[in-house]
Amino acid sequence: MIWDFEFTGRILPDLLGGLWVTVQLTVIGYLIALSLGLAVAVVRRVRVVGPIVHGVMEFIRTTPLLVQAVFVFALVPPEISAFTVGVVVLGVHYAAYTAEVYRSGIEGVAKGQWEAARALSLPVSRTWGAIVLPQAIRKVIPALGNYLIAMFKDTPLLFAITVVELLATAQRIGAAEFRYTETITLAGLLFLLVSIPSAILIRRLERRYAAV
């Protein structure tokens, strides 16, 4: 029998547990990437520390996520869980990309907006919070959304540091039961169950927030 439905029903709860870990990694890592990326994009405009921050982000962007995860996991104390290491590495890695997205949005704000803020003697915090960032972020929402899906698909790499997410769970069950057809197929379907609605949402955001 090619497909065992009884076996499928028996392993589905474990695979859903792995999917839950994958979703947690993606959501928490994405929130880190969004907030840290925004901070980096703003700090990069500071003359003294900007070049240093840019250099660090370039190093992170040009080295593989898998290498970063293994390196950090080998350095941290054993008290820190693999999940914590994985979610932080994911967030910091993708912050290097979201920072570039934010930077493009900030540079897209019309020069007259900055000049008007200076002419009105607005404080820096109000210039950024009320004028620059609302315009910049609106323009880059679709691009930021694409990194959510990319991060979701990169979570299996964290199996290298013993994070048991969806694919790792499928591989573990397949090895224990000597059945990979059901486990890997279900894992793929569960990935699609999350990624397809996310892609549809991102396309809607692209239509709604397309820069004019």
pLDDT digits 0-9 by tens, 75-115 = 999 899 999 999 999 999 999 999 999 988 888 877 887 77
Predicted confidence at residue 28, as pLDDT, reads 96
The rounded distance, in Å, linking the Cα atoms of 198 and 194 is 6
Q: Are 197 and 203 in contact (CB under 8 A)?
A: no
What class has domain 12-209? mainly alpha
Across the range 23-31, mean pLDDT stands at 95
The rounded distance, in Å, linking the Cα atoms of 148 and 37 is 13
> Taking the CA of residue 139 as centre, how many other CA atoms within 13 Å lie in the half-sphere pointing to its CB?
17
The rounded distance, in Å, linking the Cα atoms of 119 and 33 is 34
Please indicate, yes or no, whether the overall pTM of this predicted structure exceeds 0.95.
Answer: no
CA neighbor of 70 nearest in space, from 152, 160, 159, 151:
160
Asked if residue 130 has pLDDT above 70, the reply is yes
- In the chain the first and final C-alpha atoms are separated, in Å, by 56
The rounded distance, in Å, linking the Cα atoms of 112 and 118 is 10
The rounded distance, in Å, linking the Cα atoms of 44 and 35 is 14
Cα-based distances in Å from 28 to 32, 105, 151: 6, 23, 11
pLDDT digits 0-9 by tens, 135-151 = 888 888 888 888 999 99
Predicted confidence at residue 209, as pLDDT, reads 67
